[in-house]
Structure 1
Amino acid sequence: MSDMVYIFFGSGDFAAGLLVALAERGILPEMVISTPDKPRGRGLKIRPGPVAEASKRLGIPLLQPAKLSSPDFIASLPRADFILLSDFGRILKKPILEFPKIASLNLHPSLLPLWRGAAPIERSLMAGGPYGITLFAMDEGTDTGPVVLQEELPAASVSPYPTKGELVKEYLRRAPELIKAGFEGLIKGSLRPVPQEGEPTYAPRIEKSELWPDWGREAEAVARHINALSPKPGARVLFGGKLLKLLRAVPVPEPKDQPGKVIIGDKWLAIACSDGAVRIEELQPEGRRPMSAREFTLGLRL
């Protein structure tokens, strides 16, 4: 592995976490490719994205091309054995896919062909699993290329109702070794990509309307929906005219009430659904830090 060279493509939070996890294990890319800086945050100031920030912090050379198809961009890339892409938001075309000596790979946070697309972590959580990661060789489709390696999470490694943050943490703990094994296997010829098997499912982007749970659904589905959006962007509910972000929930059979009604108990908070309720274990009041439901309800009595 010491002479192996790869280029990392990524832009979002998951990709930034992956880049850091790889760096911590000494699996450093020769160069990082990310998206151009753009207006971000409340002030809409021009800022780098998560991967660009991580690359600068780690001291890895960074390019942020406006057009991936530009001949000047391709000519500026260092010779490499692999491209490794994750959470990039753009599909690479043949000139770049064929650029590395050995393969262009993608680390995708689902068990392909399940949950192809932009929001695989959220959609798999909403479905209640299964959970896992896939390293595959890219083609010009959306997450359609042949599988190099795949790892399903054992049930014991995650809680019964995991949040997106918990699942991401577990994926990032496991992904570097899977990627390293993929690199080594392809270099040695002991691994060959195999076509994806099974019926595909799709993971479209999370719409703004989905941030507001449908309380008319069953409690289990609502709890999984809330946890799939935590910590970001966060499911929402209005309480006392103010916005609450819901960060962790579990289904409970009681109390029963009109779906959507917020019920405050002795150091607990629940929201009624069609067949029971979800007990909110962690939340974030508007303009404040995240806190436990117990802390929030105690604050209401002061």
Structure 2
Amino acid sequence: MKLRVIYDEMLRTKVAPVTVFDAQLKKEAEEMLSVMHSYRGIGLAANQVGLNKQLIVYELIPDKTDKEQKDLPTIPRTILANAWIVKFSKEKEVINEGCLSLPGLELPVERSLGVTVEAQNLDGKKVTIKAKGLHARVLQHEIDHTNGILFTDRAKELNVLKHYVGAKIVFFGSDEFSAEVFRGLTTAGLNVMAVICESDKPSGRGGVLKPVPMAEIATAVEVPVFKPESKSEIAEILAQLSPHLVVLASYGKILPENVLEIPTFGCLNVHPSLLPKYRGATPLQSAILAGEKATGVTVMKMNAGVDTGEIVAQTSTEIVPDETFLTLRDRLSAVGSQLLIKTIPTYLAGQAKLQRQGIDATQTVKFSKDMGEIDWEKSYSEIDRQIRALNPWPGTFTFVGEQRLKILTAEIKDGELALQTVQLEGKNAVTWTDFVRGHAQQLKKESWYGKIA
């Protein structure tokens, strides 16, 4: 028997009555008790282990030497079939509940202090149980399960983040977009137990190895950082950490399917596009290049495909006329961080409405250095979008003689392309006016020079 967790359809199934009381039923009940004890639980319903039967088991033998358990009552081992509540007490109380199928969560739930339950035992004989206190709460919780109801369906303060700090999160990310999403998680007080990022990268003209931005941010707040090189190493590290949830934002590598199956609650990806549009590595640049008027952020539950998972949450935002890759990245990282923080409670509580992506998908490509060269046959608006989208990488450039000239900033002015800041290969960035002053004769030899303002 395998314990089912949130978003498994069995947890939302109203299970069938038990009609056959035989040795097989007794065996299943014993196996359920074994699963329950292995997870240190006090109750379990059959659909939590994939059985379509109105069968529940529970037992509590508190450890009186444990200060957290010494005041708990002893609840005898009980196995019930076809249990239903015939009477609720008018008096109610609100206390925190948890569930084996939603590990790491405790939320306040109001329930009756006492109940009367009618059921059948493993021999099919009718039994009546009158329970109070914790015993009554366990019965209500497990009978809810047999009706496809989770305790989070009844929880108060569902969106209060403090109730989710028990969920262990491992964060995958590497760049500045990742860093802002990570900051959102830690600022909210959520339990980010580790960061997994790409290895150090060459930086500057000397090519000195430098940690990626995410590594520096995590180290500064004393969150452990791992930099696995291979897929097998990723799987090994994650298995050792055993998180409840993985959150990924701009990690830079594709996670293999076996890694996605390790976290209890799966993996959420914060992707800066309105999926299914602009799947892949360059959604921000691609949206600007295409002249989109709007884009957004999607939080999705990852699957084996590239950005093909079910949508958990999505929000849109305008792309302003002078938007650059850097301004859009910084803006959407903040939007994505806020969306994720809003989404996590609903998702972990099993209340999110997951939606399959539509069929109108588009795929982005990774850019190479040569892809930044300007085609001067294109319109001014296309070239302007290219300049705004591809800075800093791979950069937009043309040639003066045999030297590359990077176009760092430009604008459309009076219907023409006006360059603002440029950088000749091996030199510092200068204004276009200063560059023209120093290279007037060379520029006159270039056919493209006459096409700009």
TM-score range, shorter chain: 0.7 to 0.9
In structure 2, distance between residues paired with 1:13 and 1:234: 18
Matched, 1:16 2:16: no
> Separation in 1 of the partners of 2:179 and 2:430?
26
- Residue equivalent to 1:265: none
| Alpha-carbon distance in structure 1 between the residues aligned to 2:261 and 2:354 | 16
User: Map of 1:202-281 to 2, 5 A cutoff?
Assistant: 202-239=363-400, 242-252=403-413, 277-281=416-420
The Cα of 1:296 is off from its aligned counterpart by 5.3
Give RMSD over aligned pairs.
2.7
1:145 pairs with one of 281, 304, 309: 309
1:113 shift after superposition: 0.7
State the 1:141 CA deviation: 0.5
TM-superposition CA deviations, 1:53-94 (whole Å, max 9, x none) = 2222232111112223246423321x4331011212222223
CA contact (8 A) 1:109 1:133 kept: yes
Per the alignment, in what secondary structure is the counterpart of residue 219 of structure 2? helix
Distance 1:108 1:240 in 2: 41
> Separation in 2 of the partners of 1:10 and 1:122?
19
Query: Counterpart amino acid of 2:379?
Result: E
- Over 3 Å counting, the alpha-carbon distance change for 1:30 and 1:236 in structure 2 is same
CA 39–232 in structure 1, closer or farther in 2 if over 3 Å, else same: closer
2:422 matches 1:283: yes
TM-score by length of 2: 0.55
Shift in Å at residue 97 of structure 1? 1.0
Question: 1:159-170 to 2 correspondence within 5 Å?
Answer: 159-170=320-331
User: What's the CA shift for 1:289?
Assistant: 5.0
Structure 1 stretches of 5 or more lacking a match?
A: 255-276
Q: Residue 20 and residue 245 in structure 1: after superposition, are their counterparts in 2 closer, same or farther (change >3 A)?
A: farther
Larger RCO of the pair (alpha carbons < 8 Å, separation 6+): 1
C-alpha separation between the residues in 1 aligned to 2:216 and 2:231? Answer: 20
Between the two proteins, the alignment pairs up a number of residues equal to: 275
Distance 2:357 2:397 in 1: 37
TM-aligned CA distance change 1:162 to 1:246, over 3 Å: same
245 and 22 in structure 1: CA distance in 2 versus 1, 3 angstrom threshold: farther
2:195 counterpart (24, 28, 32):
32
Alpha carbons of structure 1 residues 62 and 284: separation in structure 2 relative to 1, 3 Å: same
Q: Matches of 2:220 and 2:437 in 1, distance apart?
A: 41
SS at match of 1:199: coil
Question: Is the Cα–Cα contact under 8 Å of residues 194 and 224 in structure 2 kept in the other structure?
Answer: yes
Alpha-carbon separation, structure 2, partners of 1:122 and 1:27: 31
What pairs up with 1:111-126 in 2 under 5 angstroms?
111-126=274-289
Alpha-carbon distance, 1:12 to partner? 3.3
- Per the alignment, residue 62 of structure 1 pairs with 225
Match of 2:295 among 103, 108, 131: 131
Structure 2 partner of 1:183: 344
Offset at residue 209 of structure 1 (A): 1.9
Shift of 1:185: 1.1
Alpha-carbon spacing, 1:64–1:223, altered in 2? closer, same or farther (3 Å)? same
Q: Which stretch has the larger CA shift, 64-73 or 102-111?
A: 64-73
The verdict on how the C-alpha distance between 1:224 and 1:99 changes in structure 2, with shifts beyond 3 A counting, is: same
- Cα distance in 2 for partners of 1:299, 1:185 equals 60
1:92 aligns with 2:258: no
Q: Kindly provide the amino acid, as one letter, of the partner of residue 221 in structure 2.
A: L
Q: Is the 8 A contact 1:11 1:87 kept in 2?
A: yes
* In structure 1, C-alpha distance between the alignment counterparts of 2:231 and 2:356, rounded to whole Å: 27
Cα gap change, 1:159/1:27 in structure 2, threshold over 3 Å: closer, same or farther? Answer: farther
**Equivalent pair of 2:169/2:193 in contact (CA under 8 Å):** yes
- 1:80 aligns to 2:243 (yes or no): yes
Distance 2:183 2:433 in 1: 34
Would the alpha carbon gap of residues 52 and 248 (structure 1) be closer, same or farther in structure 2, given more than 3 Å must change? same
Using the TM superposition, give the Cα deviation of residue 122 of structure 1 relative to its aligned residue in structure 2, in angstroms: 1.0
Q: CA separation in 1, counterparts of 2:188 and 2:427?
A: 36
Q: 1:42 is matched by which residue type in structure 2?
A: R
Partner of 1:195: 356
Structure 1 residue 5: Cα displacement: 2.6
8 Å Cα contact 1:68/1:74 also seen in 2:
no
Q: How far apart, in 1, do the equivalents of 2:360 and 2:266 lie?
A: 25
